[in-house]
């Protein structure tokens, strides 16, 4: 069975500080991977997707970047956080049709 893990579970960070969020998928080779952002009470906004190692496509950047250093790993990062980065970050994997989501990371930027 496939499992998807996100870390950390939650973060409180200062404006201007760096951020790195991680996502790993086990039990699935060469999945498509996705990063989403959700404001509190809002809908999901797709940020990035990757269909293979080393390749990442941007949908909406929001002053964030993403990388896929390994087949089963997807990283979301920024060097300087903004207040507007607060929210819920979700990683998902998919292959062919539907997408399956991780438990998410809650980020509060102060």
Partner 1 sequence: GDQVEQSPSALSLHEGTGSALRCNFTTTMRAVQWFQQNSRGSLINLFYLASGTKENGRLKSTFNSKESYSTLHIRDAQLEDSGTYFCAAEAGDSNYQLIWGSGTKLIIKP
Nearer to partner 1, 14 or 29 (CB): 29
Q: Which residue has the tokens 């797709």?
A: 46
Q: Which residues, in sequence order, are CB contacts of 41 under 8 Å at separation 6+? A: none
46, 58, 67, 95: which one contacts partner 1 (CB under 8 A)?
46
d(CA 6, CA 54): 19
The verdict on whether omega for the bond into residue 47 sits within 30 degrees of 0, i.e. cis, is no
Which of 8, 18, 69, 103 touches partner 1 (CB under 8 A)?
103
Q: Is residue 65 involved in binding partner 1 (CB under 8 A)?
A: no
Binding site for partner 1 (CB under 8 A): 32, 34, 38, 42-46, 49, 51, 57, 59, 88, 90, 92, 97-101, 103-104, 106
């Amino acid at each position: 069975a496939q499992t998807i893990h996100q870390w950390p579970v939650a973060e409180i960070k200062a404006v201007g500080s760096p951020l790195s969020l991680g996502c790993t998928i086990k039990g699935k080779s060469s999945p498509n991977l996705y990063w989403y952002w959700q404001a509190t009470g809002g809908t999901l906004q797709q940020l990035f997707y990757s269909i293979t190692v080393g390749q990442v496509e941007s949908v909406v950047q929001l002053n964030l970047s993403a990388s896929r250093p390994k087949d089963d790993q997807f990283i979301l990062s920024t060097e300087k956080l903004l207040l507007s980065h607060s929210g819920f970050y979700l990683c998902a994997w998919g292959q062919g049709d539907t997408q399956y989501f991780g438990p998410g990371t809650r980020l509060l930027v102060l």
